[in-house]
Amino acid sequence: MADMIQLAERTVKYAVKLGASCCDVLVTESRYSSAEIEKGSMKQANSVLDPGVAIRAFKNGCSGFSSCTGHDSHAIKIAAELAVSLAKSGTPDPDFKDLPGSARPSKVGGLCDKRIAELQPADIVAMAIELSDIAGDDKRITSVNANVSVGETGLALANSNGFSSSQTLSFCEMGAESVARSGAAMFSGFDAGSSRKLEKSMIAEVGRNSLEHAILGLRQTKIQTGDYPVVVDPLAAGFVLSMAIGGGVNAESIQRKRSYLVGKLGAKLGPASLTVYDDPGIEWATGSYSFDGEGTPSRLTPIIEKGVLKSYLYDSYTAGKDSVPSTGSSSRGGAIWSFRGPPSISSSNLVVKKGDLSLAEMIEETRRGVYLRLTYDYPNLATGEFSGLMMESYTIRHGELGPSIRQATMGIGLLDLLKRVDMIGKKSRDAFGVRTPALRISSAKIGGSS
């Protein structure tokens, strides 16, 4: 790692010598391995080595970025020259103030599990097979497709303000899709998990969830168009909230007036039971880091406190423009940092504070409604509206989970979505960068095919 730090520092000096007014350099050394199962059979094992260097240079506030693969000094010099040349070519930007100073990174535990680097290909293959076997353990399952990925990135970041540090980040991710058939009915269940830690218990949990939902979905029904209460599974809540809140509070979107949350700071957005914060310091969570993509120490940022919008997420540029401190939200990628693009603002681990209801209690109290487990639709952050397919959803009748719903959509304004959260579950899980329990929305428009 010392070599990588020195390489980053040397490159910063070179870029400054070339005329950059300020500069940061990221040096990464990533290696990851994965195993893929196709239709219950081991199909492919992968091993990737991916070292690289990213150089961001500024001149008159304009940013030039260049990257190169490998750590070859000649290629890095060319990349530095390109970055500085590009910075000189662009338009001046007086809104850019400065890069972060030389603060000490925060102490964050659980960033790297050394056992991951020690895994042999046969270990990863064995994990994928175990996952597949669990996900296929029912005679109605006709196919299981699954994958396990593990890896580690060593990275060094230096800038022209004297910041220079390193961290090592590991990850373990897996996903399974079980396909079930019964007569003419066909359905697939999906589940996934991720952590910076090698968690063997994840295999059983992901496999069981995938299997259970494939079978659950075989019994199918249609639904009439109307307004229904919706119990949102953490998997669907994570996908929607990562954009609705994580994207909505992006300070760049706010400053450019592109977000539905413009002007809402201090406003009551939801019930007193709704608290959301961004925390890059959670042990073993895949969004955690000790310093962000620009070198700002990681810190917890309250976003919604007891229903009230408290803060946006800032990097150094947007913080300088608003004359506030950066929230350390500059991202170079998710679990594994990449040298391939410039940093941008992102939530790290978005956390929705737990409530006190079990999922069963939320379904029971709903009596008649809809349980949404999975959607892959993005909200429109400009209009503040969400409309999308309920890829996996179930009816709730008489307080019990009913058949899965075919071809149905959900529509709701994002401010209404937050305002109408009236039940919050007590068990959280990590999904799409969000640690969230199940939520109940008191009413949303469901488009049905019945």
Q: Scan residues 264-323 and list those touching another protein (CB under 8 A).
A: none
* Binding flag, residue 389, another protein (CB under 8 A): yes
User: According to CB under 8 A, which residues from 426 to 445 bind another protein?
Assistant: 445
One residue of 73, 102, 182, 407 binding another protein per CB under 8 A: 407
In the complex, what is the shortest distance from the CB of residue 142 to another protein, in angstroms, rounded to a whole number?
6
* Binding flag, residue 86, another protein (CB under 8 A): yes
* Binding flag, residue 70, another protein (CB under 8 A): yes
Residue 164: how many other CB atoms lie within 10 Å = 17
The candidate with the shortest Cα–Cα distance to 243, out of 421, 138, 377, is 377
Number of residues lying near another protein (CB under 8 A): 87
The region of 139-147, 281-289, 304-312, 421-429 touching another protein under the rule CB under 8 A is 139-147
Residue 270: how many other CB atoms lie within 10 Å = 20
The candidate with the shortest Cα–Cα distance to 278, out of 196, 347, 195, 194, is 347
In the complex, what is the shortest distance from the CB of residue 91 to another protein, in angstroms, rounded to a whole number?
5
Residue 78: how many other CB atoms lie within 10 Å = 13
Q: Token pair of 80, please?
A: 């530095």
The 200-239 site mask, x for binding another protein (CB under 8 A), equals: -----------------x-------x--------------
User: According to CB under 8 A, which residues from 90 to 109 bind another protein?
Assistant: 90-93, 95
In the block, tokens 């803060």 appear at 311
DSSP characters over 156-187: EEEETTS-EEEEEEEEEEEEEEEEEEETTEEE
* Binding flag, residue 376, another protein (CB under 8 A): yes
One residue of 4, 79, 135, 155 binding another protein per CB under 8 A: 79
How many angstroms separate the Cα of 396 from the Cα of each of 44, 58, 157, 328, 412?
Answer: 40, 56, 51, 42, 19
* Binding flag, residue 38, another protein (CB under 8 A): yes
User: According to CB under 8 A, which residues from 410 to 429 bind another protein?
Assistant: 410-413
Q: Given the complex with another protein, which of 67 and 327 has the nearer CB atom?
A: 67
In the complex, what is the shortest distance from the CB of residue 415 to another protein, in angstroms, rounded to a whole number?
12
Q: Token pair of 208, please?
A: 């069981």
In the complex, what is the shortest distance from the CB of residue 7 to another protein, in angstroms, rounded to a whole number?
15
In the block, tokens 């406190």 appear at 305
The region of 279-287, 346-354, 408-416, 429-437 touching another protein under the rule CB under 8 A is 408-416
* Binding flag, residue 138, another protein (CB under 8 A): no
Amino acid present at 394: Y
Cα–Cα distance measured from residue 156 to residue 5, given in angstroms and rounded to the nearest whole number: 5
Q: Token pair of 261, please?
A: 């949350």
Handedness of CA 378, 384, 389, 392 (dihedral sign): positive
In the complex, what is the shortest distance from the CB of residue 212 to another protein, in angstroms, rounded to a whole number?
15
For strands 400-405 and 392-397, give the pairing: antiparallel
**What is the chain's Cα-based Rg?**
23
One residue of 122, 204, 324, 360 binding another protein per CB under 8 A: 122
One residue of 3, 17, 19, 44 binding another protein per CB under 8 A: 44
In the complex, what is the shortest distance from the CB of residue 125 to another protein, in angstroms, rounded to a whole number?
5
Cα 4 from chain centroid? 27
